[in-house]
Every structure is written in structure tokens, then in C-alpha cells.
A and B are shown apart, each in its own frame.
Chain A
Amino acid sequence: MSKTPSGIEVPVVVTADMAPRGDPEPPAAYPFTRGIFADGYRGRPWTIRQYSGFGSAEESNQRYKFLLQEGQTGLSVALDLPTQCGYDPDDPLARPEIGKVGVSLFALSEMETLFSGIDLGSISTSFTINGSAAMIYAMYLATADRQGVPREKLTGTIQNDILKEYVARGTWIFPVRPSMRLIADSILYSNEVTPRFNAISIAGAHVRDAGCTAVEEMAYTLANGLAYVDELIRRGGSVEHFAKRLSFFFYVHMDLFEEACKFRAGRRVWAKLLTERYGVKDEKALHFRFGVVCGGSSLTLAQPYNNVVRVAIENLAAVLGGAQSIFTCAYDEAFQIPTEFSAELALRTQQIVLHESGVASTVDPLGGSYYVEWLTARMEEEIRKVMEEIEAYGGAEKAIEDGWLQQRIARRALEKKRAKDAGERVVVGENRYRREDQSESYGEVFRLDPAVSGRVLEKLERLRQSRDAAAVERMLARLETAAARDEENLMPYLVDCCHAYATVGEMVTRLKACWGEFREPVRL
């Protein structure tokens, strides 16, 4: 192998004269190549946060309690597609999708059940939610209110990154402009009301899984990050203040060094961009904090147990890159919701890396390696180059609205698939060492209870009967009126709607009436 998966030529050996001159700066010193904390994981280990959720709130509540009891340290909520796309479960488009890829949280009643017996004041919760992120964040605040937990104690993250949804993940609802407003509303509100909460996690993971390279993943994500910073500044936010609560999210795939160096380079580029462009001085605001997911499209359907090994290597890369939170996919996650067995194995993988491998005992153990410092510098250069291309096109928002970035990623995905078909990119068990007689068995099969969708629909019907319909209507009408005024922050209105048990679908419908829907640019 002479090239990294991003196409960087790898020398047979990197010698002292090839590596960047001088020793890298110490950890916690600008531009943070070696990490943002002086004591690395000694002070605080990464958060073990397994993405999980399926069916109705009751089933997911059970799974969360199981994971917490087995040593998971943060929750990560997977939501079903109707909730993510802003449809009530009884919408014809929603019905076949109820509870399939995550838990159905159509209204506050469901979130109260989801966290029943779990103290929101003492656990951090991450929600992979984007199009309807503001509604789910509002619902989380309402749930905390009901639990009697003061809002300022809440920790966690909402993904809330709509730009990459237009590019890769597809759970958009509104057009770009009003979506950007809603994101700014939630971030600015969160900075005041829940100062320990990350109201955005700017994510590259999904564009990566859709086919782009590690370099492009970082470049596209940082470009989106700049678009959000510009939006927040336009809305009167202080970058020194809000940048402290921006967080990021990435995939880790199989090239160990490229992945670790991607994060070292990313930390550096982000800190430099904020300094160069906005003159940010506060070091905390320059910190590039990120979570990762290991697995995804690097996992295979063929010989699925091999995925356990892949995820362990990726987990190691994430730690060597200095991730703040890690999710390791279960080996069967490429084709089903993990069973309790595979979910536990994925959790144990992280615990073995943390407690047995020794990699977490010193900060940035790779720092100073000729190859690692050389590759970090090369990746920084390449990331900057891709960012310049986006800038030359007119910035991330325009590149996405026009479908330019989507087209670029689709072409890259085709290239990658062809390289795999041709055997240029080796995938063990799939295009190398494949056994024609191999069984497709992967152990226990996860079966979602087929009665889930009926139960969710029943609960929705019961809620509609039991809530104060006049109060719901009053809150929704206020929301719609406020949406028409650009200078209003919609968060307080959304929290009121949630408290009145308005559904996500109802809130979204009112906002669509005001803003319309996103029209996808379909360019092949």
C-alpha cells in the first residue's frame, strides 16, 4: 500500500528531515495538535456513548438501563425517521417507518417514558436529531422541567447540523434559510439557558459514510462549521462565547494513522481558522471538541464477526486522535439493530481499549513520531485545499443548496465502489479471502416487535384524546405567529408547545405553513 485512502502518497520511511521542523507544541497549547487537555484522558476518560434506540419509548428505556448498568457513561438517542423528519406516526409516509431505525418520540409523553428512572441531572444525553432538532431540544428541556432538574445542570448534545443533512443523511424539513435561523435560535438560547449543553454537533460522519475521503470529511465539516459561525455572528452572537459550545462528530474508518492524524490536523485547522478569520482569543473557544463513531460502511456483511476486529482498531485510532466521546458500532450494525449480545460486545471493546491497552495513560502517545507529524502536516495541507475549493465555489451553504457538493460526493462514492470491485482497496472476507461457501449467519437475529407500530399509534390517539386541545392550539398558533417574525427566538414557543403535549408533527406543520419545505436538487 503506497497511498492512504485519501490518496496521500506514503513514503517507505519518514526520516527526521522530512518531518515538520521542531518539536510539536505541548498538549493544550495553540494550535492544539496534541489535544485540548493537558492531562489527556488521565483527567477525564472519553465518554462511552453507544447510539441506541428502537421501537417505542418503553423498549428503549429498558435498553438504556441495561447499557448504563454495564458501564456506559453517556446516552445517545437514536430516533425513528418520522420523528426525525417531523411527521406524526399516523402520517401515511410515516407509518411503515415507526420505531424502525430509532425510538418514536412524537410528543413529550414519550420522552418522559424514555427517561423514566434516569436522572437527567446526572447523565449527559446526545440526540442524533437535525431537521426537528429544535423541537427535540425543547422536549428535553420540558422533560427536565417535569423531572425537577434545573436546566442549567443539563449536559449533552443535539446534532442540529442541517447542512450535512441536505448533503448526505436526508432528514431535512425546511429550506436552508429558515433552517439556519432555527439552528441559530437553538444555539443562542442554549448558550444562555443550558450553558453546559452542546446545541450543535457539526458532523462529517455522514458525508464520510456516503463515500468521501477522510480529508474531505474534515474539510466539508469545517466549511459547514464556518457557515454556522457566520450565521451566529449575523444573529448578534459573540464568537468568543458561542464557539465554546460548538462540537463536532466524525466517522473513524480503517486506516489507523490517517484517522488519528485527521483529528490532530482538524484540531489545528479549526483553531487557526477561528484565530485568522474572527480574531478569537479565548483559548477555550478555539478548542475543537469532537465525538466519533467507529464502524459504519467500513463494516461488512460478509464474515460479520471480522467487524469486531475492525471496530477495535478504529476505536484505537479515535483514542490516538483524542476523541471526547466514542461510539463503537456493533458487528451486526451493518444490517440490523444490534442485539443485546452484540451491543454488549461493542461496549466491552471500548472498555478493553480504555482499561487494558494502556493507550489512555499518556497524552497523545503518537506525538513526535516522524510519520505521524509528517502525515498530520500533509493532511492539514489537503484539508485546506478542499476548503479553498468550497470557498471558491461560494461557500458551503451555496455549494449545498445548488447540489454541487452532493454531486461531488456521489462521484467519489462511485470511484470508491469501483476501486473495491477491482480489488484495489482490500476488504478482507469481501473482496479478498472471500469464501464462496461462507454462511451469511451472524448469530442472533434482532426482531423488532411487530406490535410496536400499533402501540405507538394507540398512544398517539390516547394523547390526542386526553390533552387540553384548546391549550395545544393556542401554543401552536403563537409559534406560527412568532415564526413569521425573523427577529424572534422560537425556542421559548417550542418549549411551551412541548409542555402542552403538542406533537412534533404539529409543530413542524405550523412552521412549514410559514416557511415551506426544502426542495432537493437532484443532480446525478
Chain B
Amino acid sequence: MNAPLKGKRILVAKPGLDGHDAGAKVIALALRDAGADVIYTGLRKSPGFIVRTAIDEDVNAVGLSILSGSHKELTREVIAGLRAAGAPEVAVFVGGTIPPEDRAGLVEDGVRAVFTSDMPLAAVIGELARHLA
């Protein structure tokens, strides 16, 4: 595989109390293989912690993994936090158990793209590369 995400810094984060981290870890490993510098937060992080880490680590993108149904609240808090911290350019992506009818709303809130578990990794990487070009 070539390195379509070379030079990109990406934070993979688990906001809230959701403990399902298989997807987050698979994505983190796959993005690393695609050339990105990946920082993974581990579980149970507050939106505030995620925003601070994104800024401290100077990332291009934040990927939020949420399977608990709290995607709307948690995503809004992270996006608002990034804007308040003067980093609106950090692209926010969401993955996890996101019902189809909620996806448009997340994009309206400022999410660049929503990924679900049935998307091939190559498609996820391709879309990230396009957004971060």
C-alpha cells in the first residue's frame, strides 16, 4: 500500500463512556499503515480533553468513534471546543454506530464525513485523503 496520508497528523478519539474500541483501533492501525501520524486517546475522554489534545498535538484531523448513541451531543461539543480554541480548521470525522437518519445532521453541525463499519478501509482512507488534501 502506498502512503496517501503521509505527513498528516490524525487524532483518533473515544469521547464519552463508550468502551467499544475495536473500530477505533482498527482505524488507527489502518491510518498509520496509510502513512499518517496517528495519536490514539484511549477510552473515556471528555470533549475538553480531546480538544486540548488536538491542539497540543497540532493535528489535521480528529476522528471520533462513538457507538453509544451519544454522537450528536459529543460531536457538537468537540466542534464547538475546537472553534472556541481558535482551531476551526481541524477537520472532524465521526465513525461508529450512527443511524442513517442522523448523518446529515452531523454534517450540518460541521462534521466532514461519517464512516460506518461496513465501509472498506480503502474508502475511508481515500475520503480522508481527499478532505485533507
Residues of A within 8 A of B (CB): 81-82, 84-85, 87, 92-97, 100-101, 165, 168-172, 209-211, 297, 300-302, 334-337, 409-411, 413-414, 417-418, 421, 430, 440, 445, 448, 520, 522, 524
Q: Mark each residue of chain B from 39 to 60: 1 if its CB lies under 8 Å from any CB of chain A, else 0.
A: 0111110100000000000000
Tell me the minimal C-beta distance from B37 to chain A in angstroms.
12
| CB-CB nearest in chain A for B14 | A170
Which residue in chain B gives the minimum CB-CB distance to A423? B120
- Chain B residues, CB < 8 A from A413: 22, 25-26
Main secondary structure of the interface of A (DSSP, over half): loop
- Asked whether B46 lies within 8 Å of A520 as measured between CB atoms, the reply is no
A169 proximity list for chain B (CB < 8 A): 19-20
Asked if B46 and A92 make an inter-chain contact with CB atoms under 8 angstroms apart, the answer reads yes
Q: Are B43 and A170 in contact (CB under 8 A)?
A: yes
Q: Enumerate 19 A-B pairs (CB-CB under 8 Å) in ascending A order.
A: A82-B17, A87-B17, A93-B46, A100-B68, A101-B68, A101-B69, A165-B19, A169-B20, A210-B21, A211-B22, A409-B22, A411-B29, A417-B30, A417-B121, A421-B120, A421-B121, A445-B101, A448-B69, A522-B42
Instruction: Give A464 to B87 CA distance when docked, in angstroms.
Output: 41
Q: Which of A84, A300, A445, A522 contacts B99 (CB 8 A)?
A: A445
Q: At the interface, is chain B mostly helix, strand, loop or mixed? A: loop
Take A169-B19, A413-B26, A524-B29 as given contacts and tell me if A81 and B68 are in contact as well, using a CB distance cutoff of 8 Å: yes
CB distance from B23 to the nearest CB of A (A): 8
Q: In the complex, what distance in Å separates the CA atom of A252 from the CA atom of B9?
A: 38
Which of B97-125 touch A at CB < 8 Å?
97-101, 116-118, 120-122
CA distance A168 to B32 in the complex (A): 21
Known: A97-B68, A101-B68, A445-B101. A410 touches B17 (CB 8 A): no
> Are B69 and A524 closer than 8 Å at their CB atoms?
no
In the assembled complex, the Cα of A520 lies from the Cα of B29 at a distance in Å of 18
Question: Apart from A101-B68, A335-B99, A524-B29, what are 20 other A-B pairs with CB-CB below 8 Å?
Answer: A81-B16, A93-B46, A96-B73, A97-B17, A101-B69, A168-B19, A169-B20, A170-B18, A170-B44, A171-B19, A209-B22, A297-B117, A336-B97, A336-B99, A410-B22, A417-B30, A418-B121, A440-B100, A522-B40, A522-B42
CA of A100 to CA of B70, assembled, Å = 7
Does B28 count as interface, using CB distance less than 8 angstroms? yes
Bound complex: CA of A418 vs CA of B120, how far in Å? 8
Given that A87-B17, A336-B99 are contacting pairs, would A301 and B30 also be in contact in the complex, using a CB cutoff of 8 Å? no
Tell me whether B20 and A170 are in contact (CB under 8 A): yes
CA distance A337 to B99 in the complex (A): 11
Q: Report how far A263 CA is from B120 CA in the complex, Å.
A: 32
Known contacts A210-B22, A301-B117, A421-B120; is-contact A85 B99 (Cβ 8 Å): no
Partner of A170, one of B21, B38, B101: B21
Flag if A524 contacts B19 (CB, 8 Å). no
**Chain B residues with CB below 8 A from A297, complex form:** 117
Residue of A nearest to B22 (CB): A210
| A524 adjacent to B99 (CB under 8 Å) | no
The 6 closest A-B pairs by CB, nearest first: A170-B19, A81-B17, A96-B73, A410-B25, A210-B22, A522-B42
B80 within 8 Å of A (CB atoms): no
User: Inside 8 A of B30's CB, which chain A residues have their CB?
Assistant: 414, 417
A93 CA to B17 CA, complexed, in Å: 7
Instruction: Say if the beta carbon of B74 comes within 8 Å of chain A.
Output: yes
Residue numbers in A under 8 Å from B43 (CB-CB): 170, 520
- The answer to whether A301 and B118 touch across the interface, beta carbons within 8 angstroms, is yes
Q: How many Å lie between the Cα of A430 and that of B117 in the bound state?
A: 11
Determine the distance from Cα of A410 to Cα of B24 in the docked complex, in whole angstroms. Answer: 9
Contact partners of A81 in chain B: CB under 8 A: 16-19, 68
CB distance B97 to A335 under 8 Å?
yes
B22 proximity list for chain A (CB < 8 A): 168, 209-211, 409-410, 413
With a cutoff of 8 Å between Cβ atoms, the chain A residues found around residue B98 in the complex are 335
- Measured in the bound complex, the distance between the Cα atoms of B19 and A96 in whole Å is 15
- A295 to B25 Cα, complex, angstroms: 22
Q: Which residues in B have their C-beta under 8 angstroms from that of A524?
A: 25, 28-29, 32, 38, 40
B122 and A421: CB pair below 8 A?
yes
Residue contact A410 to B19, C-beta cutoff 8 Å: no
Q: Which residues of B contact A101 (CB under 8 A)?
A: 18, 68-69
CA distance A522 to B41 in the complex (A): 8
List A contacts of B18 (CB < 8 A). Answer: 81, 97, 101, 170
A94 to B43, CA, bound (A): 14
Q: Tell me the bound Cα distance from A198 to B118 in angstroms.
A: 37
Q: Which residues of A contact B117 (CB under 8 A)?
A: 297, 301
Q: B29 and A97: CB pair below 8 A?
A: no
